[in-house]
Amino acid sequence: MSAVHKAVITIDQGTTSTRAIVFDSVFAPVFTAQEEYPQHYPRPGWVEHDPEDIWQTTVSTLKQAMAYCRENAIEIAGIGLVNQRETTLVWDRETGKTLYPAIVWQDRRTAHQCHKLKHKEEWLHQRTGLRCDPYFSATKICWILDNVPHARERAEAGELAFGTIDSFLIWRLTGGKQHLTDTTNASRTNLFNINDMNWDNDLLALFDVPASLLPEVKNCADDFGKLDTTEFGESIPICGVAGDQQAALIGQGCYKMGEAKTTFGTGCFALVNSGSEPAFSEQNLLTTVAYTLNGKTCYAMEGSIFVAGAAIQWLRDSLGILPCAADSEKLARQVEEDHQVVVVPAFTGLGAPYWEPLARGAIFGLTRGSTAAHVVRATLESVSYQTQDLLNAMRCDGIDTTTMNVDGGMVQNSWFCQFLANTLDITVNRPKVMETTALGAAYLAGLHAGLKDNIEDFAALNPQDSTFEPEVDDILKKKRQHRWQAAVKATLIMAEAEANLECD
Ligand SMILES: Nc1ncnc2c1ncn2[C@@H]1O[C@H](COP(=O)(O)OP(=O)(O)O)[C@@H](O)[C@H]1O
Ligand SMILES: O=P(O)(O)OC[C@H](O)CO
């Protein structure tokens, strides 16, 4: 009889697609099922997902991964779960039905509520590590309670549950038995105190959110319940959970203070491990929980950019100038080096370090000779320039990076990786397993399932595969920086004009 191999399955519930990936006993990916699902933009600045799309793509991809394991006599030791963070759902505890679509992290509908709370910004930052911005869950919950008929009274009566996507999926995957989250996801709500690691009554009062809505908060490698046998036929433990960006930090093996990664998916998120005490930025970066294991928390400093790969999707789906994302590489290579087109992809405001929710996208420098290729290249370039802004902010905070570990859908584009190295003037490393987000959750599940003893045991499992060294033309670099900064400035002036119009 052949030996039974052990594996873990990770569910990666991202902004644009859901994946289920089987990682074998040495944490190599051996099977992937992936399904994209629609994005909804009901009003300018609003972004929603249908929760049933999220659930159905999760069920379908997970069942495909489980079938692969069955066919190959693989024993599933545990399930890891990573998710788009901050995205907010409220559901009925009795029926499990959601009250409103998922309000996605990119959604800006609560910009004015956040503006009114600006005077609390520093106080909020010291408690949560975050800012007063529509990005985070608290004002999204409040919006649902105030806009869905009877929601607030039902919440106060204890009939409703709130969750980020991890909580919602754990609830559904366990047949409504568990209402849980992990510390990394809790730390993105603006309701969680990252100093004492608890939901915070003062924050709940500030955002007018009843405590009865909240899930219990657990370690990242912990017992999150078991799969519902009625739906899945097997009772497998869910034992590793983290927000996708923190999971990528784990998947890149950044367990020591100062180690960093940047993920280029729908958005772009640079996280640097800041050790066992929260460190607070003076440059508008966030402080967040990197992971909690056995009650011990490791923190990270984070720079968040709202639009990265999403801009490539916009070129493909809204402008129709790209047949597929991968074609952006070929088009970018056709454009002259010193072109003048600048795209600021602020479709859902600007994140770090500007934090301007009313900013909107813009294209500068068009001439009669500008082509689709110019716009495509300038869009790819804009992601590098935004990353440069993050790195500059980190440097001012005393974090000096000499290399950058990258991952996420966009880094399949080698032209982009090279341009990034040139812009940042540092070495860019791309790992062998680019699915580091899913890998991080596999490590967490593997840890709890006893496949390894310590997080450090994973450090060498995902070596670098490609390295991009900077090829810097100083004059060109200066010109590009100058144009980018001028374009951002103009965009911010437009945002101010828009804010004044709304006040009139
Ligand atoms: N070759 C490519 N060049 C540039 N962008 C790409 C390429 N391939 C995928 N992308 C972008 O990467 C994103 C998907 O990355 P992924 O990490 O799966 O994101 P998410 O987890 O946010 O759904 C999409 O927005 C897509 O436009
Ligand atoms: O879907 P991603 O991978 O771009 O990640 C979204 C982030 O978690 C939002 O904070």
Q: How far, in Å, are 23, 412, 420, 453 from residue 302 at the CA level?
A: 28, 23, 18, 28
Give residue-wise pLDDT tens across range 355-398.
888 899 999 999 999 999 999 999 999 999 999 999 999 888 88
- Closest to 340 measured CA to CA, from 307, 315, 375, 314: 375
Report yes or no: 438 and 12 within 8 Å, Cβ to Cβ: yes
pLDDT at 1: 42
Can you read off the two tokens belonging to residue 269?
């998120």
Question: Is residue 330, in this structure, part of any structural domain at all?
Answer: yes
Mutate to test the pocket of ligand 2, among 37, 49, 105 (most ligand atoms within 8 A of CB): 105
Ligand nearest to the CA of 410: 1
CA 293 to centroid of ligand 1, rounded, Å: 30
pTM (2 d.p.)? 0.92
Give the torsion through C-alpha atoms of 263, 358, 493, 481, to 10 deg: 0
Contacts of 182 (CB under 8 A, 6+ apart): 166, 217, 218, 219, 220, 222, 224, 241, 242, 243, 292
Q: Is the CB of 87 under 6 A from ligand 1?
A: no
Q: For ligand 1, pick from 37, 410, 419 the residue to mutate: most ligand atoms within 8 Å of CB.
A: 410
pLDDT for 3 equals 52
Contacts (Cβ under 8 Å, ≥6 apart) of 7: 22, 23, 24, 25, 30, 69, 74, 75, 76, 77
Residue from 393, 301, 380, 307 nearest 350 by CA: 307
Strands (DSSP E) found in 41-86: 48-49, 74-83
Low-confidence residues of the chain: pLDDT under 50: 1-2
Task: Kindly give the distance from the C-alpha atom of residue 83 to the centroid of ligand 1, in angstroms, as a whole number.
Answer: 15
Length of the chain: 504
Q: Is 297 exposed, middle or buried (CB count within 10 Å of its CB: 0-12, 13-18, 19+)?
A: buried
Q: What is the CATH number of the domain that holds 486?
A: 3.30.420.40
Query: Mind giving me the DSSP string for 258-317?
Result: T-EEEEESSSEEEEEEEESS----SSS-EEEEEEEETTEEEEEEEEEES-SHHHHHHHHH
Residue 480 lies in a domain: yes
In 3D space, the residue among 117, 91, 89, 126 whose CA is nearest the CA of residue 105 turns out to be 89
* Tokens encoding 230: 């009625």
Q: Which residues contact 229 (CB under 8 A, 6 or more apart)?
A: 235
Q: Is 184 in the pocket of ligand 1 (CB under 6 A)?
A: no
The response to whether residue 309 sits with its C-beta less than 6 Å from ligand 2 reads no
Question: Which 3 state secondary structure label does DSSP give 132?
Answer: coil
Q: What angle do CA 269, 275, 279 make, to 5 degrees?
A: 70
pLDDT (0 to 100) of residue 454: 86
* Ramachandran assignment for 233, one of left (phi > 0), alpha (psi -120 to 50 degrees), beta (any other): left
14 pocket-lining for ligand 2 (C-beta < 6 Å): yes
Q: Could you tell me if 290 and 249 are in contact, meaning their C-beta atoms sit under 8 angstroms apart?
A: yes
379: containing domain: 309-424+470-503
Q: Would 374 be classed as within a structural domain?
A: yes
Number of domains making up the chain = 1
In a domain, 266, yes or no: no
Using the structure block, give the residue that is written with the tokens 């301007």: 356
Strand positions, DSSP E, 365-426: 403-407
Considering the domain boundaries, does residue 381 fall inside one?
Answer: yes
Cα dihedral value 44, 55, 162, 239, nearest 10: -130
Residue at 27 is within a domain = no
Distance 323 CA to ligand 1 centre (A): 14
Whether 134 and 111 have beta carbons less than 8 Å apart is answered as yes
**Ligand 2 contact via 446 beta carbon (within 6 Å):** no
Residue with tokens 């991080």: 440
Residue with tokens 């080096």: 337
Burial degree of 197 (CB within 10 A; 0-12, 13-18, 19+): middle
Q: What whole-number distance in Å separates Cα of residue 285 and Cα of residue 291?
A: 18
- Position in ligand 1 atom list of the atom nearest CA 407: 17
Is 327 in contact with 315 (CB distance < 8 Å)?
no
Backbone φ and ψ of 498, nearest 5°: -65, -40
DSSP run (H or E) holding 418: helix 414-424
pLDDT number for residue 504: 60
Give me ligand 1 centre to Cα 498, in Å. Answer: 31
4 found inside a domain = no
Count the neighbouring beta carbons within 10 Å of the beta carbon of residue 289.
26
30 Cβ neighbours under 8 A, 6+ residues apart: 7, 22, 23, 24, 68
Alpha-carbon separation of residue 7 from 27, 231, 240, 439 (angstroms): 8, 21, 13, 12
Residue 304 lies in a domain: no
- Alpha-carbon torsion (321, 325, 331, 335), positive or negative: positive
Q: Which two tokens stand for residue 494?
A: 């437009």
